[in-house]
């Protein structure tokens, strides 16, 4: 056997690389209107009004939503959370996960198609692109032309608008972690700090790159949800589907004559469903993990069916069982309430109940008692035996409080210092020494459990307790 020549080896290697990786082909998405397009734009408006508007909303003289990492305080309207409240963050993440599982089991990648930030910002950037460069065919022609003044001006305008949206997005993102009014003043006076500058530019660059250039690449290759979402599907999950029994054999046909009389299916093979797809797939080839379930192909196909005087629904939200068994809409919806959906719904309701219940019973004041390790016990004037402690008081509410201390667990045990009330400003965390003492004559050697109570009687009474020990040497 003769060894392959270097040229043959390089050719085989190149062929192997082409099989492993296909070079990206730019997608020129065609604009589409319809029911699902309206839903997508409604979600764009809803999510962006919340995202861009929430940092500017004021609540009792401060920013309504502020994640102050420096001060370790997290403000959510009238609620102030501290790092010790991490359980609420954990519950919120679990609720989000189960909500995602539930919606996916019901109707596939609804989050991807309508509310995912990648989808939302890609939609915004593509709208800008269409307004500046035109729709699909106009953009294809423009990209094929050599660079001239007209093309340069349009490209520059498009990228300038993209950059403006991206930077505003980065600015808003940082505004959730530092006061957005102060941040705006720093931007105007060119006095931004290094970390604020970095995160505005970094988040802006990520938005610019992902929504402007990478687009479907993020959904296809970078998003982990695209890979594992198939395990959440079953044969009754509503997904974007093409009905081959009705559509095949596809091909061009006359408008007025019935499709079957011409030996054709309802699909006229116009490929508009491919042209409007943001990930560039052909839904007629069956379910693919790259499909984000946005419904753009449904709107496009329905418009073609209207022009051909053919019933809508050749491409529609349906399930595998509904297609195979030719179920009607009522049968299809009846099969949505299956064990998986009921389990997800029950767990989700339990998690939401735990989250709300935790917030309701959450104490506005927290008490943590730590023994002073430098001095376990000592005698003080007056025939008293004293133990020293450090008390951490945390006011998790936005009203000032006056706290007084009490102790029980040993006869004659009393609070020596502080004697009066401790003032707690709103949303503050203070560390104070606490001195407890009892008569030496009553003391017997040992380690005794005690209970320290901090009480606030102003306004709505608040009582918090913490266990500790009192040592008699």
Give 284-287's long-range contacts (Cβ < 8 A, gap of 24+): 284/242, 284/244, 284/247, 284/250, 286/242, 287/239, 287/241
What H or E segment, with its residue span, contains residue 7?
A: helix 6-20
The residues near 282 (Cβ < 8 Å, ≥ 6 apart) are 271, 273, 274
Cα–Cα distance, 322 to 12 (Å, whole number) = 46
Q: If we measure between CA atoms, which residue out of 402, 410, 420, 367 comes closest to residue 386?
A: 410
For 52, 302, 351, 427, the CA distances from 74, given in Å and listed in that order, are: 18, 48, 21, 10
Cα–Cα distance, 184 to 168 (Å, whole number) = 11
pLDDT in 10s for each residue of the chain, 473 residues = 455 555 555 555 455 444 455 667 889 999 999 999 999 999 999 999 999 999 999 988 889 999 998 888 899 888 888 888 888 888 988 999 888 888 888 988 888 999 999 999 999 999 999 999 999 999 999 999 999 999 999 999 999 999 999 999 999 999 999 999 999 999 999 999 999 999 999 999 999 999 999 999 998 888 888 777 777 888 899 999 999 999 999 988 888 778 788 888 999 999 999 999 999 999 999 888 889 999 999 999 999 999 999 999 999 999 989 988 888 888 888 888 888 889 889 999 999 999 999 888 888 888 889 988 888 888 888 889 999 999 998 888 888 888 889 999 888 899 998 888 888 888 888 888 999 999 988 788 899 999 999 988 776 678 888 889 898 88
What H or E segment, with its residue span, contains residue 462?
A: strand 462-472
pLDDT confidence of residue 4: 53
pLDDT confidence of residue 1: 46
Beta strands in 314-361 (DSSP E): 315-318
Cα–Cα distance, 382 to 23 (Å, whole number) = 87
The residues near 40 (Cβ < 8 Å, ≥ 6 apart) are 113, 114, 119, 123, 294, 295, 296
Cα–Cα distance, 171 to 177 (Å, whole number) = 10
pTM here is: 0.83
């Amino acid at each position: 056997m003769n060894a392959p020549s270097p040229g043959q080896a390089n050719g085989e290697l190149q062929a192997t690389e082409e099989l492993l990786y296909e070079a990206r082909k730019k997608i020129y998405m065609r604009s589409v209107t319809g029911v699902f397009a309206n839903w997508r734009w409604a979600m764009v408006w809803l999510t962006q009004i919340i995202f861009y508007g929430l940092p500017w909303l004021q609540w009792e003289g401060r920013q309504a939503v502020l994640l102050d990492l420096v001060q370790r305080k997290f403000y959510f309207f009238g609620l102030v959370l501290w790092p010790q409240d991490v359980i609420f963050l954990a519950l919120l993440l679990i609720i989000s996960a189960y909500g995602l599982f539930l919606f996916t089991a019901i109707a596939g990648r609804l989050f991807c198609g309508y509310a995912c930030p990648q989808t939302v910002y890609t939609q915004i950037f593509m709208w800008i692109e269409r307004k500046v460069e035109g729709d699909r065919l106009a953009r294809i022609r423009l990209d094929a032309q050599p660079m001239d003044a007209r093309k340069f001006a349009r490209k520059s305008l498009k990228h300038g608008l993209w950059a403006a949206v991206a930077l505003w997005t980065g600015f808003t993102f940082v505004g959730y972690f530092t006061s957005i009014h102060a941040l705006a003043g720093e931007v105007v006076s060119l006095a931004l700090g290094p970390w604020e500058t970095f995160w505005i530019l970094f988040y802006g660059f990520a938005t610019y790159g992902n929504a402007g250039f990478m687009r479907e690449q993020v959904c296809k290759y970078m998003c982990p949800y695209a890979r594992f979402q198939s395990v959440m599907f079953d044969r009754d999950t509503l997904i974007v589907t093409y009905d081959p029994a009705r559509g095949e054999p596809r091909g061009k046909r006359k408008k007025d004559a019935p499709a079957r009389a011409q030996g054709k299916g309802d699909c006229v093979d116009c490929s508009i469903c491919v042209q409007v797809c943001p990930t560039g797939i052909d839904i007629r080839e069956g379910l693919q993990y790259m499909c984000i379930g946005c419904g753009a192909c449904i709107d496009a196909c329905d418009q073609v069916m209207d022009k051909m005087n053919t019933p809508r629904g050749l491409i529609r939200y349906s399930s595998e069982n509904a297609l195979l068994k030719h179920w009607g809409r009522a049968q299809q919806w009846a099969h949505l309430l299956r064990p998986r959906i009921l389990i997800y719904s029950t767990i989700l309701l339990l998690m939401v109940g735990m989250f709300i219940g935790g917030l309701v019973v959450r104490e506005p004041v927290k008490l943590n008692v730590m023994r002073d390790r430098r001095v376990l016990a000592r005698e003080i004037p007056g025939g008293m035996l004293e133990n020293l402690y450090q008390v951490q008081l945390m006011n998790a509410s936005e009203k000032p409080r006056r706290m007084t201390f009490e102790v029980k667990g040993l006869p004659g045990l009393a609070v020596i210092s502080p004697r009066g009330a401790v003032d707690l400003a709103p949303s503050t965390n203070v560390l104070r020494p606490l001195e407890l003492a009892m008569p030496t004559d009553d003391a017997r050697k040992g380690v005794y459990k005690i209970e320290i109570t901090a009480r606030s009687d102003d306004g709505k009474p608040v009582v918090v307790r913490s266990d500790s020990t009192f040592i008699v040497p």
